[in-house]
Amino acid sequence: MIGEITATSVRHEPLIARYRGLICDLDGVVYRGATAVPDAVETLNRLTADGVPVVFATNNASRPPEDVGDHLRGLGVVSEGWSVVTSSQAAAAHLAQHLDRGTRVCAVGGPGIARALTEAGLTPVRAAELGEEPVEAVVQGLGFDVTWRELAAVGYLVQAGATWVATNLDPTLPTPHGNAPGNGVLVAAVQAAAGTSPHVVGKPRAALLDLARSRLGTCRPETLVCGDRLDTDIEGANAAGLDSLFVLSGSSRLRDLVFAARSERPTYVAADLAGLLTAGLPLGTTESGDRIGITPDAVLRAENDADNGELLRSVVAAAWAALDSGRAVPDDSGLWSEVEHKLGLVPQLEPRKIT
C-alpha cells in the first residue's frame, strides 16, 4: 500500500513508477469485444518495454489463457512481459486444494473451464457426459452456448451435495454493442432453483488477484490493480489489500464512482489505461480535491489551469469529501453525464480489429 504521497513528490513521476507489477483487467480496460480501447495497447507495450511485468486477470472464464493471449497479440500487444490468469484457473486451484488428483468435476461454461481443471490435475466432465458415475464438484462459468439443460444439471448436482464453485458473479459482460448478460445472471438462475449459494473465486473475492500476484512475484505494496468495474475490480483490490486504478473506459461511470461505497473506492482514477504513464495523486490526499468545488445548486466550479486528469481527480475527491461530511451531492444522471462530456470521458473505440 502506498505511503504518504504529496503533490510535490509525484508531480513528474508516472503513477506506475510507484509499483513493481501490474494486475490488469481486460474487458472494458484493454478491449471491448474485438476492438481495442484507445491508448491501451500502446500503454501496455510501453510498460513491458520498461520492464514492468503485467498479469491480466479476468473474471471471464469462457476462454483458456492461450486464446486470450492470441486476442491480445492480435490487437498489437507485444508477446513478452505478460501472462494471463482466469477465474477458471482460480476455481481449479481452489478445488485442487480440496480434492484428490483425478477427481471428476462437472464443467459448465466455456472451454476455459475444462482446460483449467485438466491443468490442475482434475478430470472435467461435461453435463451431457455425466452418466451414473458421481462427481464431487461442479464449476460454473461464462459460456456463450450454455443451455437450460446444463444449468439444470448444475442445480441437480448441487442439491445432491456436490461442491459448487462459481468463477464469478459479474451481472454483465461489456461488448461493442453494449452490456450483455454475464455469468452472474446464469448463477442466479441456478441459485433460485437450488436454494443455496456457490463458493466464488473471481473478483471481488481475493482468490483470483492472489493468484495473479503470485505470478508477478510481488508483495502487496508493490502491486497495482487496474480495472473498470467498481464492484469487481476495485472492491476485489481492496479485499486483497492492493492499491487500484479505476478507469472510465468500461462499465462503471463517473456517477457510480462518486457514489461508490467505501469498499469500492479506488486509490486512483483516470480516463483510461494511459493514466498509468501520467502523474497522479491518490484520491485520498487533500490536494486531490483542491481544484474544484461543488456548489449547493449543483454547479461545478473549477480552476481554469487544471488539465482534465486533474479535474477528474478533483471532482471525485470533492464529492467524496462532501458526502463523507454529510453534505449533499447532486445525483442527477444528466448532470454527471454532462461532466463526463466536459472532461472528454465518453468512451470511443478505435477501429482496430483482431487480425
Q: What number is the average pLDDT over the span 162-176?
A: 89
Grid look-up 469462457 returns 62
Q: What number is the average pLDDT over the span 265-292?
A: 82
Q: What number is the average pLDDT over the span 312-331?
A: 93
The residue from 25, 228, 231, 233 that is catalytic is 25
Within 10 angstroms of residue 177's Cβ, the number of other Cβ atoms is 8
145 as an active site residue: the answer is no
Q: What number is the average pLDDT over the span 91-101?
A: 97
The pLDDT value recorded for residue 98 is 96
Q: What number is the average pLDDT over the span 186-195?
A: 97
Q: What number is the average pLDDT over the span 80-94?
A: 97
The neighbouring-strand residues paired with 268 are: 245
* Separation CA 259–CA 39 (nearest Å): 27
User: What is the distance in angstroms between the CA of the first residue and the CA of the last residue of the chain?
Assistant: 39
Q: Which residues contact 247 (CB under 8 A, 6 or more apart)?
A: 29, 226, 227, 228, 269, 270, 271, 272, 273, 275
Q: What number is the average pLDDT over the span 284-294?
A: 56
User: Is the pLDDT assigned to residue 176 strictly greater than 50?
Assistant: yes
Q: What number is the average pLDDT over the span 226-230?
A: 95
User: Is the pLDDT assigned to residue 101 strictly greater than 90?
Assistant: yes
DSSP 8-state class, residue 274: G
User: Is the pLDDT assigned to residue 288 strictly greater than 60?
Assistant: no
* Separation CA 181–CA 189 (nearest Å): 12
Q: What number is the average pLDDT over the span 167-177?
A: 84
25 as an active site residue: the answer is yes
Q: What number is the average pLDDT over the span 182-189?
A: 96
C-alpha cell recorded at residue 169: 458473479
User: Is the pLDDT assigned to residue 156 strictly greater than 90?
Assistant: yes
* Separation CA 302–CA 311 (nearest Å): 7
Q: What number is the average pLDDT over the span 170-193?
A: 89
Average pLDDT, the chain: 89
3-state secondary structure of 236: helix
The pLDDT value recorded for residue 76 is 97
Within 10 angstroms of residue 318's Cβ, the number of other Cβ atoms is 22
